[in-house]
Structure 1
Amino acid sequence: MTNPSDLADAYARPASEVLTALDATATGLSSSEAAARLSRHGPNSLPGAKPRPAILRLLAQFNNALIYFMLAGAGAAAALGHYVDAGVILAVVIVNAIVGFLQEGKAESALNAIRDMIAPQASVLRDGRRISVGMADLVPGDVVLIEAGDRVPADLRLISARNLLVDEAILTGESVASTKGVDPVAAGAALGDRRPMAFSGTLVSAGQGSGAVTATGTRTQIGRISTLLHEVEPLTTPLLRQINAFAHRFTLLAFVGAALIFAFAVSLRGYAWDDALMAVVALAVGLVPEGLPAVITITLAIGVQRMAARRAVIRRLPAVETLGATSIICSDKTGTLTRNEMTVGRVVTADGVSVVQGAGYDPTGHDFTPEPTARGLLRAGLLCNDAELNPGTWKVEGDPMEGALIAAAMKAGLDPATERAARRLDAIPFDAQHRFMATLHDMPGQGRVMLVKGAPERIMAMCARQASEAGTQVLDHTYWSDRIAETGREGERVLGYATKPMPDGTTRIDFPDVESGLTFLGLTGFIDPPRPEAVAAIAECHRAGIDVRMITGDHAETATAIARQLGLAPDPQVLTGKDLDAIPDSGFADAVARTQVFARTSPEHKLRIVRALQSRGNVVAMTGDGVNDAPSLKQADVGIAMGIKGTEAAKEAAEIVLMDDNFASIVAAVHEGRTVHDNIRKVIAWTLPTNGGEALTVIMAILLNFALPMTPVQILWVNLLLAATLGLVLAFEPSEPGVMARRPRKSGAGLLTPFTVWRIILVSVIFMAISLAVFFWTLGQGRDIEVARTMVVNTLVVLEIFYLFNIRYLHMTSFTLTGVKGTGPVLGAIAVVVVGQLAFTYLPVMNRIFESRPLTLLDGIVIIVIGVLSLVVLEIEKHLLRDRFREE
């Protein structure tokens, strides 16, 4: 027996030759031989993903540098004796870990979802008898019997096929079931063109057949996809990369800085080591942004909630932000950019072309009055038809193209129930070898009539005349060849129609009746029309600087025509799977970058395309719904699966699932992702200067050898009060105007952009300078140090409130009515802060705990004036320098 791996070209070889190579016969294997082959080749099953233990997934949530910061903050609070505060920080760490644990760790399910696509039982011939065996027991050489409704259990080289249609959308993405036959096709044919093959996991839509098993388990086409999923390494999202890089740098800076300050205080300022340690702990408490990871997680979670309202389910928290960084969206065609509903777009007769309005199977609201010849053609399409179109739901039972013919006939005013009263007396079902279908009818007023539909070239070959309004004419081959080519260039699938009167009393028709004497009625062009909302969404993507690429298993002409209608490009460049195979690795990325449409692609092609785009620094989002899309969904920076028509394998491999299968929802996700990233930057740009001002104040006190303007416990109070209020409200900020008018940020761009770094330094210095000025001004009035420190704490809090209003808008001024009045969360947080500070300042118990003192009304007015002036200064600075530092 030939090794099954040597039968990769079984589709290009006669069935008898394949059987010989498999050492099998059309009557099947013997039971003993099947058992021997099973032990040799292994079971026909796919390996499941090896799940990580839950404890390891949980511990992995703590492996983050900013989490280490939070633990350091807890240690600092504990060292100061503030055990309650340390417990609060630890609680935030634990909550953050639990959220990550619940949101992530499900990617392994993608492989198990693919396993479920394989039929559990199969009908085979063993010992010359038809029996049912478990799917796992199939072996190369087995003869499998398939019929409508069956899931193909292994890759089969067909031996027989009668009216066999197989839905291969999970592998090819094509919306129309593939017609199967037994004749070989050319070597190197694309997957969707391998007519003598039936592939594991696909669904038999109609007809019946039998085939010899050529591949099982991981050697099948669906098994190769499973293997590809194993080979795809999970990517770290841009946000996580940036947070980790920032945290590691910040950790090193904090550690080195604390050590230097400690050494300086002990050796040059004569501090006792324990006093120096307390000062350094105060510095650490002020410097470390221990609440930042929690606020970032909350910001992402809010983005997830907003996306859920837009019919998008986020399976992993950082994905919504990653989509905001997307520079290229690679989209499947069928069902994502198109409706996945075949539609008759035009009717061509000898008298001209009728354009049929409306998309999909719903005929209501798109009535038209065709000329008589076109009406006769549509009647033929309605009667030579085995499909049913359910009124109200407008769902098709049967072939989608036949359903589209019913909808077109109804638009022309033909009633299926009335028209089908013309009794069908006989039929020749569609057959791949003859490429037509014929029916015999008893037509009222016309007698016995045969109607034929099928491949236009085949129908024309059986016709001598053509129908027209003026009567029948000699068939004009040139005219029809031009019309067929014109329709094909528009990416439409074409069917031809013919009629023939039959003698009275005819009750049966056979192939000789069809092969001559027909009158050609004309053509219909079918297309899976673009979603109107997808056209608008692609235009918005282009305005946002995002390229859209179509990757499909469909034919190049169809894909190119759809791409043109979608506005993908004025003149879309297209590469087929064969073209991609011929491009060397050295020039592959450049070729992919120039191309908008990829047609007749395999899962390997999709994976290679995504990797090539990523190699050029792009953040790539990939949409898909089939098993064939799962590897590229996993490889992409963010995978987006279709929730309605998507397979479970695609959903499990993706980070985002669109519940409405609508490309327009992706644009909404991009919008939300950009908002989330803006809000995270605002959180950082507000938090770090706040902490920086506190830390610089402590550093200056140590360097210049004067009393600390704030005690460690007061610093901790400020951090806990503001992080839980003002720092959190920035997560709820709505989108800034023009968020989709900016180009995508570069994938390597850090969270700390040049303008943000400048802002952190400037605001930290301003906060330090004002804090020290207030401290020494109060002491200069002869007031005690406790009052001075209370003034500093209140001043710092007021500065941070006004700075919040400044930072709410990164790309425009805050001096607008909307900017001044704020949002509900902002005003609520300020109210909490004000109440907290009033308690800190005037409540005796707080005075005892924090060594604070009551202030006068004049003190309060001075502090508020300082806050207003700081806002004016920072708004002027933002206006002057924002364009110079523009990084968006």
Structure 2
Amino acid sequence: MLDLADSAAQEGYRTFRTAHDRDAAHVVEDLASTTHGLSADEADRRLRQHGPNSIPTGTRRHPVLRFLAHFNNALIYFMLMGAAAAAVLGHLIDTGVILAVVLVNAIVGFLQEGKAEDALAAIRSMIAPRASVLRDGQRVSVPQADLVPGDVVLIEAGDRVPADLRLLRARSLRIDEAILTGESVAATKHTDPVDANAALGDRRSLAFSGTFVATGQGTGIVFATGLQTEIGRISELLGGVEELTTPLLRQINRFGQRFTRFAFVGAAVLFLFAITLRGYQWDEALMAVVALAVSLVPEGLPAVITITLAIGVQRMAARNAVIRRLPAVETLGATSVICSDKTGTLTRNEMTVRRVVTPGQAIFVEGSGYNPGEHRLFEDTGPRSPAGHATSLSLIRTGLLCNDARLRADGAEWHVEGDPMEGALVTLAMKAAFDPENERAEWPRLDEIPFDAAHRFMATLHKMSLAEPVVLIKGAPEAVLAMCTRQEAPDGPTALDAEYWSDRIAEAAAQGERVLGFAMRHLPEGTERIDFPDVETGLTFLGIVGFIDPPRDEAIRAIAECASAGIAVRMITGDHAATAKAIARQLGLGEDPVVLTGHDLDQVSGEDFARAVRETVVFARTSPEHKLRIVQALQAEGRVVAMTGDGVNDAPSLKQADVGIAMGVKGTEAAKEASEMVLMDDNFASIVAAVHEGRTVHDNIRKVVGWTLPTNGGEALTVVIAILFNFAMPMTPVQILWVNLILAATLGLALAFEPSEPGVMRRLPRRPNAGLLTPFILWRVIVVSLLFAAISLGVYFWALNLGRDLETARTMVVNTLVVLEIFYLFSVRFLHMTSFTYTGVKGTTPVWIALAVVVVGQLAFTYLPVMNTIFGSRPLTLGEGALIIALGAASFVLLEVEKHFIRDRFQDD
């Protein structure tokens, strides 16, 4: 079963495809490693030799296929039909211009899709999982890709296994291997070898890359990485490039299909009308219909909307909110309720011990975070026997030894490797003058019972030389007290005073502190293993420790912003009810916020449950089932729910929520896989920032639609009116295409970069089923189309009445439409307020760049001889140009007055 790698053998160690049938010690020896892990230098050397521990992503489509896919669109088909008709009639210039527009649209979409795929690939790398390993004997966190054969990895509930591991230690370890075996029940793991021919699901001594740890803890040595792992052999199961589609884009595509059918029928009717009732020759009528077709089709709209979405994704990523699934960009703008975890999201997640309570004594601790600083608990020299503090020191030592965390100094900053509360206990021990490494060496750990939500405590077995073994316990105070019969005191153990401890726990919780209880029990000499019967009774209670995790200042401001935006905030936590309520007050969720516990929720159902969820601000002591029911109850009322989570137990509610939000720093892989968005800083303020950007994206898409459709509508109306009243076309098909091309590729695209309108977070959330064509935008499309058609036709007949030739009149119409669209752009930039402001007039850099391109293009269209030949345009006089600009300015004033009086009559959302 061993696959000997020649390169590895030359280095003095072997790597394998499998290792389940070998004793763990032999695997460690063959890998030239130790149970304390590799050195950093050796790990770097092996990484260069073996390469990164990663699976190649799915194959991206060939660029040619990606380019051709942009022609697979109903609107484009309609354009190509028009080009074919023009070619049949010998209008080669018209044909060439139509094909050029289609080609430019495909190129823009192709380039943007490539950028979007690159952005999504970069985002995936931002949320690449990390692994806890032993390097140089110390626990450190490294990127999963940096793992090498011989690394010793620590795993626990909620983690994704980062590589194929031969287990060295397994405590209550069960792993969900469904992605490999199809088994729905998690596999129980152990360290004993199994038969060499055991099926994959029976290799209980291995943990496979990509599987999820359901319960317990374990340590394993890496024996296979990257493509050598089991998941590497079936890497096609791992997703490739994320599909660049959203419900919005599918809606646009459906609109294109319906629109094409409508336009085809309308064109056929108009064609027959022109021949039978207006005496058009069939070729003239066909070209008129082609002109109508190209004027109606908003061929650049899908590409611009895609760009707008991609820009929103990039803006959110810049504000620490990484979008994993593009539909979340749209949904965020409609979020009406945010259900947030407390720890690390609303608070700093820098736990600090604030009080230590033992029988008859309470010590209040100074300082914050993990830096022990100069704060000391006792003035006495050394931690061994300060007068009157023996019980406190016993409790503090218990917190240090029954603990898996390590502190790491990075210059002036201190960081915890492991659980934040355990890190705070290490800091507390250092403030009491304990040396953590010395204490752990003097009291080596023999065995342990890992913490699990089912029993709510952790127990470790220790033995100091010449002392009897002792089991140390820490956990939820209620759970620990239930296992105790006595309590420690300066003069020796006494009967447990449960009422006293209940009061002390409530007192600490009322101050917003999280509380842990501590206990111990001496065991008979020779004890080397512990199980639940050893700790469930007969313990001596040592006391409690109160931790505080202060609210983030930015979270307080973000919650106030949510209130002004009509977004409700619900805090869902596993903390004690009194603790949760105290933190909620500090966060500004109310002077007396309504709090319900999971037990309270279990007592109600149906409408009573829905009413309880509606009226409650804080949910404490909740289970995964409670979180799921809360989200479902809010959704049943039509709310759009964003839900945060970090643990494997949060996955169901994250999946159920409209926007699942996982924590990027402390979040498990299970939570990230179930979410639509990942917070790279675990900060509630980043959620609100993402909602802000989501609203901006939706506003900008509405602006693009509201600006594009009147352009096409105005052009189409001029063609239809010309046919109905039997006069020469005010614009030729190629001139209409020029207008569409020069405007959509410049001004339309500039709207995708628009910043947020003032007051975007002072509006109520939009309805999730609200379409892009809101009543106000639909009204504007109709009014602006009519206005543009009227002004264009007015200019057309004015020019003809003055004796200008048809080509000059048409040139004036084209320039008039372009100028009208330029001024209309400045109006549509603000949908919710007037554009008669300095900010509205000065525009943005993308707007002015686009405007410069349009002006240069129109000057070339009007005065460049080659453009005159292609498009049939003619030079205009200075007076004619001034008149056109004056008409554009007048239209801007008229539309702003209309916006002022009409806007409030419509309910956009």
The whole-number CA distance in structure 1 between the counterparts of 2:677 and 2:443 is 52
The whole-number CA distance in structure 1 between the counterparts of 2:549 and 2:446 is 27
Quote the residue 1:837 is aligned against: 858
Quote the residue 1:415 is aligned against: 433
- Is the contact between residue 71 and residue 90 of structure 1 (CA under 8 Å) also seen in structure 2? no
Residue in structure 2 matching 1:390, options 407, 412, 418: 407
- Is the contact between residue 336 and residue 661 of structure 1 (CA under 8 Å) also seen in structure 2? yes
Quote the residue 1:92 is aligned against: 105
* Highest RCO, 1 vs 2 (Cα 8 Å, sep ≥ 6): 1
Unaligned 5+ runs, structure 1: 1-47, 126-132, 148-152, 159-169, 172-198, 208-228, 501-505
- Is the contact between residue 112 and residue 307 of structure 2 (CA under 8 Å) also seen in structure 1? no
Unaligned 5+ runs, structure 2: 1-54, 87-91, 130-143, 145-157, 170-176, 193-198, 205-209, 221-237, 381-385
Q: Bigger shift: 772-781 or 557-566?
A: 557-566
Residue in structure 2 matching 1:145, options 190, 198, 213: 190
Deviation at 1:379, TM superposition (A): 3.7
SS of alignment partner, residue 283 of structure 1: helix
Q: Bigger shift: 290-299 or 610-619?
A: 610-619
Q: Bigger shift: 239-248 or 273-282?
A: 239-248
Change (3 A) 1:802 1:597: same
Change (3 A) 1:322 1:76: farther
- Is the contact between residue 381 and residue 405 of structure 1 (CA under 8 Å) also seen in structure 2? no
The whole-number CA distance in structure 2 between the counterparts of 1:516 and 1:605 is 30
Deviation at 1:683, TM superposition (A): 0.9
- Is the contact between residue 440 and residue 508 of structure 1 (CA under 8 Å) also seen in structure 2? no
Quote the residue 1:304 is aligned against: 313
- Is the contact between residue 463 and residue 518 of structure 1 (CA under 8 Å) also seen in structure 2? yes
- Is the contact between residue 481 and residue 517 of structure 2 (CA under 8 Å) also seen in structure 1? no
Question: In the alignment, is residue 75 of structure 1 matched against residue 81 of structure 2?
Answer: yes
Change (3 A) 1:517 1:843: closer
Quote the residue 1:163 is aligned against: none
Residue in structure 2 matching 1:406, options 419, 422, 426: 426
- Is the contact between residue 622 and residue 638 of structure 1 (CA under 8 Å) also seen in structure 2? yes
Percent identity reads 58
Residue in structure 1 matching 2:267, options 258, 274, 277: 258
One-letter code of the match for 1:361?
Y
- Is the contact between residue 685 and residue 756 of structure 1 (CA under 8 Å) also seen in structure 2? yes
Deviation at 1:250, TM superposition (A): 3.9
Deviation at 1:264, TM superposition (A): 2.4
Question: In the alignment, is residue 734 of structure 1 matched against residue 755 of structure 2?
Answer: yes
Question: In the alignment, is residue 622 of structure 1 matched against residue 667 of structure 2?
Answer: no
Q: Bigger shift: 75-84 or 787-796?
A: 75-84
The whole-number CA distance in structure 1 between the counterparts of 2:625 and 2:65 is 33
Q: Bigger shift: 269-278 or 560-569?
A: 560-569
Deviation at 1:396, TM superposition (A): 4.2
SS of alignment partner, residue 887 of structure 1: coil
Summarize deviations over 1:197-254 as a string: whole Å, max 9, x none: xx954341699xxxxxxxxxxxxxxxxxxxxx99xxx999563465356545544543
- Is the contact between residue 640 and residue 768 of structure 2 (CA under 8 Å) also seen in structure 1? yes
Quote the residue 2:43 is aligned against: none
Residue in structure 2 matching 1:790, options 773, 793, 811: 811
The whole-number CA distance in structure 2 between the counterparts of 1:297 and 1:241 is 11
Deviation at 1:589, TM superposition (A): 5.7
SS of alignment partner, residue 908 of structure 2: coil
Deviation at 1:784, TM superposition (A): 1.1
The whole-number CA distance in structure 2 between the counterparts of 1:115 and 1:483 is 35
Question: In the alignment, is residue 493 of structure 1 matched against residue 493 of structure 2?
Answer: no
Change (3 A) 1:348 1:709: same
- Is the contact between residue 351 and residue 373 of structure 1 (CA under 8 Å) also seen in structure 2? no
The 5 A counterparts of 1:321-720 are 321-340=330-349, 342-348=351-357, 356=365, 360-364=369-373, 379-384=393-398, 385-386=400-401, 387=403, 389-393=406-410, 394-396=414-416, 401-410=421-430, 413-417=431-435, 458=481, 478-487=499-508, 492-496=514-518, 522-526=543-547, 530-550=551-571, 565-568=586-589, 570-574=592-596, 576=598, 579=601, 583=605, 592-596=613-617, 609-720=630-741
SS of alignment partner, residue 569 of structure 2: strand
Quote the residue 2:867 is aligned against: 846
Quote the residue 1:202 is aligned against: 215
Quote the residue 1:860 is aligned against: 881
- Is the contact between residue 577 and residue 598 of structure 1 (CA under 8 Å) also seen in structure 2? no
Question: In the alignment, is residue 871 of structure 1 matched against residue 884 of structure 2?
Answer: no
The whole-number CA distance in structure 2 between the counterparts of 1:312 and 1:699 is 48
- Is the contact between residue 593 and residue 617 of structure 2 (CA under 8 Å) also seen in structure 1? no
Summarize deviations over 1:62-121 as a string: whole Å, max 9, x none: 6999x32233234334533433542542453476478669759999999x9999649956
Change (3 A) 1:274 1:424: same
Q: Bigger shift: 68-77 or 588-597?
A: 588-597
- Is the contact between residue 287 and residue 692 of structure 1 (CA under 8 Å) also seen in structure 2? yes
Summarize deviations over 1:699-735 as a string: whole Å, max 9, x none: 1111111111111111111111111111111111111
Change (3 A) 1:355 1:793: farther
Quote the residue 1:281 is aligned against: 290
Change (3 A) 1:301 1:139: closer
SS of alignment partner, residue 774 of structure 1: helix
The whole-number CA distance in structure 2 between the counterparts of 1:396 and 1:119 is 24
Quote the residue 1:725 is aligned against: 746
Q: Bigger shift: 816-825 or 522-531?
A: 522-531
SS of alignment partner, residue 728 of structure 2: coil
One-letter code of the match for 1:712?
P
Residue in structure 2 matching 1:294, options 303, 317, 320: 303
Change (3 A) 1:525 1:882: same
- Is the contact between residue 707 and residue 825 of structure 2 (CA under 8 Å) also seen in structure 1? yes
Q: Bigger shift: 250-259 or 693-702?
A: 250-259
Deviation at 1:283, TM superposition (A): 1.1
The whole-number CA distance in structure 2 between the counterparts of 1:510 and 1:117 is 26
The whole-number CA distance in structure 1 between the counterparts of 2:874 and 2:391 is 94
Summarize deviations over 1:737-794 as a string: whole Å, max 9, x none: 1111111100111101111111111111111111111111111111211111111111
Deviation at 1:678, TM superposition (A): 1.0
Change (3 A) 1:612 1:369: same
Change (3 A) 1:284 1:637: farther
Deviation at 1:361, TM superposition (A): 2.6
Quote the residue 1:25 is aligned against: none
Q: Bigger shift: 73-82 or 814-823?
A: 73-82
Change (3 A) 1:76 1:651: farther
How many residues matched?
751
TM-score of the two chains, using structure 1 as the length reference:
0.70
SS of alignment partner, residue 760 of structure 2: coil
Deviation at 1:357, TM superposition (A): 5.8
Deviation at 1:263, TM superposition (A): 3.1
- Root-mean-square deviation over aligned CA pairs: 5.6
The whole-number CA distance in structure 2 between the counterparts of 1:146 and 1:581 is 43
- Is the contact between residue 124 and residue 142 of structure 1 (CA under 8 Å) also seen in structure 2? no
Q: Bigger shift: 612-621 or 474-483?
A: 474-483
Summarize deviations over 1:498-546 as a string: whole Å, max 9, x none: 999xxxxx999999xx999999875322356554433433332232122
SS of alignment partner, residue 526 of structure 1: strand
Deviation at 1:612, TM superposition (A): 4.7
Quote the residue 2:834 is aligned against: 813
Change (3 A) 1:75 1:626: farther
Question: In the alignment, is residue 267 of structure 1 matched against residue 276 of structure 2?
Answer: yes
Change (3 A) 1:136 1:301: closer
The whole-number CA distance in structure 2 between the counterparts of 1:143 and 1:816 is 68
Change (3 A) 1:610 1:858: same
Change (3 A) 1:697 1:235: closer
